[in-house]
């Protein structure tokens, strides 16, 4: 993995400017490097009628890293990602701020880019574990993405 | 099916008061009766960087009806629902306001209530089709719920 570090404040700002739900939920990029990102969402303002984080907020937290990881790993002038689907399971009540880490190996990134270069598009999955501040997994998701080449 | 009609403004207000994301996305209950509800979400304010409805907003729109349908169909003094998971697939770009209809037959409602009475809980699925104003299905989801009896 490259050790290139990304400016997390700039990534947070870019996400919030392009997607109103990111601003509303106050999701934050807290770590970012090529192939690995960590995002956090505050419980406050993202709750439900029983005071835990609402399922829709947890969904957004599992989906935002797809774009962030893409930004740190691929050349956005050549490719763009779309989300095809998400299967999310809620395991425990989410009673604190929640974090999620997403990562992709150099080998997987190279495979996806090569497939997109050859076919114009390439499918890939990202598995996300959403954790509370005690490290408990409150939700797990499998996100189905497709990377596409611009202009194809 | 009973012909009892529910006050959609009151249901909308209740949803928005209990879940901030419902207020932020301005989701609206537009039809509600025992066993059937219709909800709508405006595109404006719920977009992404390419001007279509953000996946997280579509997710919220597919999940909110679970609670609304529960309210119109079951006795909230005896039971409450939790969402165990959702598998959502995005089929087309969502370029307009989006609506979703959720329904449950009397037979299914009776089966769920009887199972919850006997075992304290009962699993059930709801399939949602999210449609644009031309009637195109932009997303489809299978929502996995569990109804539980209070006090068990």
Q: What is the ipTM of this complex?
A: 0.94
Range of the domain at A40: 8-149
Residue A62 in any domain: the answer is yes
- Please tell me the predicted confidence (pLDDT) of residue A1: 46
d(CA A52, CA A74) in angstroms, rounded, equals 35
Diameter over CA atoms, chain B: 50
Q: Do B59 and A54 touch (CB under 8 A)?
A: no
Domain CATH code at residue B145: 3.10.129.10
Given this model, what pLDDT does residue B49 score?
A: 86
User: Confidence band (pLDDT; 50, 70, 90) for B152?
Assistant: low
Residue B1 maps to a domain = no
Q: Is residue A1 part of a domain?
A: no
* Assigned domain for B118 exists: yes
Average pLDDT over residues A73-95: 96
Q: Let me know if residue B3 belongs to a domain.
A: no
Which of A14, A18, A21 best probes binding to B when mutated, by most B CB atoms within 10 angstroms?
A21
β-sheet bridge partners, residue A130: A100, A139
Total tally of structural domains belonging to chain A:
1
pLDDT for residue B3 is more than 70: no
Question: Would you say residue B129 lies in a domain?
Answer: yes
| Assessment of whether the complete model's pTM goes beyond 0.90 | yes
Inter-chain CB proximity B55 and A47 less than 8 Å: no
Look at residue B2 and tell me if it is in a domain. no
Euclidean distance between CA atoms A88 and B32, whole angstroms: 27
- pLDDT, residue A147, reads 97
For residues A105 and A110, give the distance between their C-alpha atoms in angstroms, rounded to a whole number: 9
B66 located within any domain: yes
* d(CA A140, nearest CA chain B) in Å: 9
């Amino acid at each position: 993995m490259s050790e290139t570090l990304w400016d997390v404040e700039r990534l947070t700002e870019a996400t919030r400017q392009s997607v109103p739900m990111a601003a509303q939920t106050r999701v934050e990029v807290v770590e970012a490097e090529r192939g690995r990102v960590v995002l956090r969402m505050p419980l406050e303002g993202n709750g439900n009628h029983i005071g835990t984080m609402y399922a829709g907020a947890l969904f957004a937290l599992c989906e935002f890293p797809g774009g962030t990881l893409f930004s740190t790993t691929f050349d956005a002038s050549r490719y763009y990602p779309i989300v095809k689907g998400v299967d999310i399971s809620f395991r425990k009540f989410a009673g604190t701020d929640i974090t999620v880490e997403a990562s992709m190996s150099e080998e997987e990134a190279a495979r996806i880019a090569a497939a997109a270069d050859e076919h114009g598009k390439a499918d890939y999955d990202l598995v996300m574990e959403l954790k509370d501040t005690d490290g408990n997994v409150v939700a797990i998701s499998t996100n189905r993405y497709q990377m596409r080449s611009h202009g194809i």
